[in-house]
Amino acid sequence: MLKSAVTVMIPLLFAAAGGLFPAVAGTLNIALEGLLLAGAFSSLAVYHITGSIAAAVTAAVISATALSALHVFAVFKLRANLFISALAVNLLSSGLCVILSDKIFRTRGVIVSESAAGLQSRYIIAGILMLAAAWLAVYKTPFGYRLRACEKDSEALVSLGIRPQVYQGAALLVSGFFCGIGGSFLSLNLGAYVPGMSAGKGWIALAVIFLGGRNPLGVLAAAFLFSLAESISNYAQGIMSLPADFLLAFPYVTTLIAMIVISILPRKDS
């Protein structure tokens, strides 16, 4: 059960770590779902052709970051609404994966390839290291100070001749980089690409960010909480006679209850 929880946690951890950057900069990135899906498809496609994990992960990072760059261009150059542009990225990613799958593999359904062995331990170590790097970047560097100032006091940045949009755009690009890696694990570990295989993990990553108090250590704990709840849900389906809908909803209900509790606790302290 714990191994299953870790498997579920890995893409969540990368997506939440990436989403942390725009979250602290005041530009919440709701395109995480589409970025994960782009990373999943491109990594499996390249791995199927080359057999190289490094090339597959690189392709995932490039595709997800390119979508993030498109999002940045739409928001900061074309002045599109931040959330509408992000939703467009989600829809574009889903549709583009179907089109490319049809052109490259002659199928709009499942794409099967060989699964790469020993990925879980590598990814979990990389995920924790990158989460630590995110903490250092956000809270211990001049870049991080300016990034957080974008949300708290953007006028102070402007008075210093610093454009907040530059840092907010960089934060969105970083989230694409992280999501690309997380998406690559989804497909490479399974050895297949399934349409819509991100399955709401991008949205859950947003909840994980705020459930963890926008703190990397809290994000790690929140990601594990949701993953453990999903693992328990999957395990319970085989041994309990409870309705399937209830068991499938258990991880999401657990996350919702945890968020409510976290939001109430500061009020009690005050």
pTM of the model: 0.88
- Residue 173 is which amino acid? L
Cα–Cα distance for residue pair 101/111, rounded to 1 Å: 8
Written as tens digits, the pLDDT of the chain (270 aa) is 777 888 889 999 999 999 999 999 989 999 999 999 999 999 999 998 898 999 999 999 999 999 999 999 999 999 999 999 999 999 999 999 999 999 988 888 888 887 776 788 889 999 889 988 988 998 899 998 999 999 888 888 888 888 999 999 999 999 999 999 999 999 999 888 999 898 889 999 998 898 888 888 888 888 888 888 878 877 776 666 666 666 677 777 777 787 777 777 665 443
What radius of gyration do the chain's Cα atoms show? 19
Cα–Cα distance for residue pair 249/65, rounded to 1 Å: 32
DSSP calls for 125-179: HHHHHHHHHHHHHHHSSHHHHHHHHHHH-HHHHHHTT--HHHHHHHHHHHHHHHH
3-state SS of the chain: helix, strand, coil percent to 5? Answer: 80, 0, 20
Neighbours of 82 (CB within 10 A): 20
Place of tokens 């791995």: 47
Cα–Cα distance for residue pair 30/10, rounded to 1 Å: 19
Q: Computed from CA positions of residues 39, 184, 31, 65, in that sequence, does the dihedral angle turn out positive or negative?
A: negative
Instruction: Break the chain into its structural domains and give their ranges.
Output: 2-198
Q: What is the pLDDT of residues 118-168, one digit of tens each?
A: 788 889 999 889 988 988 998 899 998 999 999 888 888 888 888 999 999
- Residue 259 is which amino acid? M
